[in-house]
Amino acid sequence: MKICKRIKATVLALCLVIGMCAVSLPQTVHAEYGDNAYAFMKQLQSNYPYRQVNSSNGMLSGAEEWLKAQIVTMGYEYMAQPFTMTSADGVTPCYGENLIFSKQGASDRVILVGAHYDCVEQTFGTDDNASGVGVLLELASIYSTKESPYTIRFVLFSAEEPGCLGSQYYVDNLSQEERDRIACMINIDTIAAGDNMYLYGGTVDDSGSIVQDWAVYQAQSAADLLGLDMSFHPDVNDSFPTPTKATASDQMPFANVGIPYIYCEASNWNGEPYTNFYQTSNSAVNGGTIMHKAEYDNLTFIENTFGARAYEHLQAYAKLLDYLLENMKEGEYATGYTFEDTNTKAATTSSVYLRERPTQYSPSVTLLDADTEVTVTGYHASWCRVEVDGQEGYIKTDYLTMEDEIASKEDESSEEESENASKEAESSMSEESSSEAAENESGEAVSEGESVESESLSNEASKNEAVSEAASSEKETDVALSQSASSQNASVPEADSQNTVEKIIDQLKNDPYTLRIVLIAAIVIIGIWLCVFIALRRKKNAQKNEDSNGASNSSEETLKKAKRADMSDSKDSDNGFADPDKNKDEK
């Protein structure tokens, strides 16, 4: 019984240790982009709908506490920033609380990632904006264990719906030194349900020029590099020249003080009123607007109407922003392109725009005709930096024919010309020989007739030989194929097992969370095995002790019985009960 109790106590202790380890580990695993973002979005919209500012339903405050728990679980320390501001109507006071937490990078320069977590009345706020919160939390979970060149500051804003109050309060309370440290602000808002994934950036200055737009061009070049279907919005609204969208969300207060921004949003600018409020051309959405509509802005409707769009959008934006946080280069208009310096002549394959920057949405310098000669000064597989008529810009590599290719084409054309000339000469010679052959035909006809029969016989014999040779070669080929197939089949399991082991090792290397779980499981298994081994050993020792004690006890009993017999004999002799035969002998 004691041994059983000890085993139970040991197992319970190990379970307690496992539980403590599980609590201390991050609760999110970055297995695939979008997985964690989707899970966070779903929890927020399902457990805390109707997250309206100033509401007495407790949903907004409940969401705040839930968000704090997620932040702490990831290993961050957060700062709560409560505020009271007047809404956009100029009358209503609004109460909110921003949540701020950071990951120190190699540089003190800051990339700020923001998303608002409130929503309008009577909506689940799935698209606007549990989707943006989901991506922000996924990025935070990734960088809880990942180094970054910039310091990343995550801010969950409150009270965006009444007029970007939380973000305005945050910027108003930054010193000029703190503002100057921010290299770029990334705003994630309403990305789940719209038809197209857009990137906005830049502001229009007093002269009408677009400035502070390097960040959005860099984001677009990164999207192109990653093969993500993202773009600038079409230039259909004079109030928002492409690629700007500096109003109506939390990037606005940052843009107003000159901080570059990237605004991520899914919408559709191709329908009236030609703004981001027209989100989809799907007939199931009356008027095309999903946000702020109770019947549309919930996960059930979005997935029933658009399928996996919400997950796919979250996945794409998470992938893009992770790349930017790791690779962003402040002030540069493109990222990921390392141009190889060269001085090569090339020609355009068709009519093409010379772009200011290496992205298809960049402003054009000029339109070049087909077969325009240019000088390539920088080469990349996707884009080339070129000079033409004193102007410099970028052209997609697919639209250029390089000097080497031109030379090879010229060589090919010259070869074709020489081949054609030789063919013509051969044809003329064949015509002359055919005329001579016609003259000799009549004389040769008789001899040909005599040789036809012999030729046919020889042809039949050669055919039979060819058939036998072909059959033997087919047999040899079948044997060789069977041998190679057997050797391949013998090597396949070996290669598969080796690949499987390598994949598992690579996965454990790239996933510290899973590695820790595996190590803990191994320790637990070893611990249980040791406990069982010790228990069995103790049980065996106890059995031995019992056996030895039993043997000693039996020997003691035997001695006691012998002594008792001796004592009884002595008593009998003393009492006069002697052996009668002995007495007879004595007489």
- Which of the four pLDDT bands, split at 50, 70 and 90, describes residue 360? confident
Q: What is the pLDDT of residue 449?
A: 44
d(C-alpha 107, C-alpha 184), whole Å? 14
Q: Is 140 in the same domain as 166?
A: yes
Q: Is residue 108 part of a domain?
A: yes
- Is the pLDDT at 497 greater than 80, yes or no? no
Domain count, the chain: 2
Q: What is the pLDDT of residue 275?
A: 86
> What value does the mean pLDDT of the chain take?
81
Count, residues in the chain: 587
Q: What percentage of residues in the chain have a pLDDT greater than 70?
A: 68
- What's the pLDDT score for residue 271? 85
Tell whether 108 and 156 lie within a shared domain.
Answer: yes
Residue 142 lies in a domain: yes
pLDDT at residue 363, rounded to an integer: 81
Q: How far is CA 228 from CA 31, 74, 85, 223, 308, in A?
A: 19, 28, 39, 5, 16
Backbone angles phi, psi at 343, to 5 degrees: -145, 75
Tell me which of 327, 361, 387 is where a domain ends.
327
Band of the pLDDT at 417, cuts 50, 70, 90? low
111 with 205, same domain: the answer is yes
Q: What is the mean pLDDT of residues 48-57?
A: 96
Q: What is the pLDDT of residue 521?
A: 79
pTM reported for the whole predicted model: 0.65
- Looking up residue 122, the CATH number of its domain turns out to be 3.40.630.10
Check whether residue 355 and residue 307 sit in a common domain. no
Helix (H) or strand (E) holding 414: helix 403-510
Q: Do 271 and 363 sit in the same domain of this protein?
A: no
Does a structural domain hold residue 79? yes
Q: Which of 297, 327, 357 delimits the end of a domain? A: 327
Q: At residue 515, does pLDDT exceed 80?
A: no
Residue 507 maps to a domain: no
What span, in angstroms and rounded, lies between the C-alpha atoms of 70 and 133? Answer: 12
Q: Are residues 345 and 219 in the same domain?
A: no
Do you find a cis peptide bond into 273, omega within 30 degrees of 0?
yes
Tell me the per-residue pLDDT of 535-558, one tens digit each, with 9 for 90 and over. Answer: 887 877 777 776 666 655 555 666
| Model confidence pLDDT, tens digit, residues 95-124 | 999 999 999 999 999 999 999 999 999 999
| Confidence at residue 448, expressed as pLDDT on a 0 to 100 scale | 45
Q: Rounded to the nearest 5°, which phi and psi values hold at 490?
A: -70, -30
Assign 560 a pLDDT band (cuts: 50, 70, 90). Answer: low
CA distances from 131 to 127, 155, 343, 383, 512 (A): 5, 15, 47, 33, 27
Closest CA to 96 of 43, 164, 171, 185: 164
Q: Of 276, 308, 327, which residue constitutes the final position of a domain? A: 327
* pLDDT: which is higher, 563 or 295: 295
Residue 302 above 60 pLDDT?
A: yes
What pLDDT, in 10s, does the model give residues 267-282?
999 988 888 889 999 9
- Residue 7: partners with Cβ closer than 8 Å, 6 or more residues away: 531, 532, 535
Q: Is residue 185 part of a domain?
A: yes
Quick one: pLDDT band at residue 514, thresholds 50, 70, 90?
Answer: low
What pLDDT score does 527 carry?
81
Assess if residue 514 is contained within a domain: no
- 369 and 247, same domain (yes or no): no
Structure tokens at 476: 């040899």
Is residue 560 assigned to a domain? no
User: Tell me: the pLDDT tens digits for 366-384?
Assistant: 999 999 999 999 998 888 9
Asked if pLDDT for residue 296 goes beyond 90, the answer is: yes
Confidence at residue 309, expressed as pLDDT on a 0 to 100 scale = 98
Question: Is residue 179 over pLDDT 80?
Answer: yes
Q: Tell me: do 250 and 357 sit in the same domain.
A: no
CA 144-146-151 angle, 5° bins: 80
* 409 in the same domain as 319: no
Q: Which of 80-94, 359-373, 560-574 has the lowest mean pLDDT?
A: 560-574
Same domain, 413 and 304: no
Q: For residue 17, is it within any domain? A: no
Predicted local confidence at residue 138, as pLDDT: 98
Secondary structure E strands in 326-436 = 340-348, 352-355, 364-368, 373-379, 383-388, 391-396, 400-402
pLDDT at residue 495, rounded to an integer:
47
| 159 pLDDT higher than 70 | yes
Task: Report pLDDT for 28.
Answer: 40
Q: Are residues 280 and 350 in the same domain?
A: no
What is the predicted pLDDT for the residue at 333?
A: 86
Q: Which range marks the domain in which residue 385 is found?
A: 337-428
The predicted pLDDT at position 543 comes to 75
Over the stretch 34-49, which tens digit does the pLDDT of each residue have? 999 999 999 999 999 9
Nearest Cα residue to 266 out of 176, 214, 189: 189
Location of structure tokens 């020792």: 541
Q: Is the pLDDT of residue 432 over 70?
A: no
Say which DSSP state 130 is in.
Answer: I
Please report which confidence band the pLDDT of residue 584 belongs to, taking 50, 70 and 90 as the band edges: very low
Three-class HEC string of 432-461? HHHHHHHHHHHHHHHHHHHHHHHHHHHHHH
Higher pLDDT, 74 or 238: 74
Confidence at residue 446, expressed as pLDDT on a 0 to 100 scale: 38
* 81 and 178 part of one domain: yes
Which tens digits make up the pLDDT trace of 196-208?
A: 999 999 999 999 9
Q: How far apart are CA 213 and CA 244, in angstroms?
A: 8
CATH code for position 416: 2.30.30.40
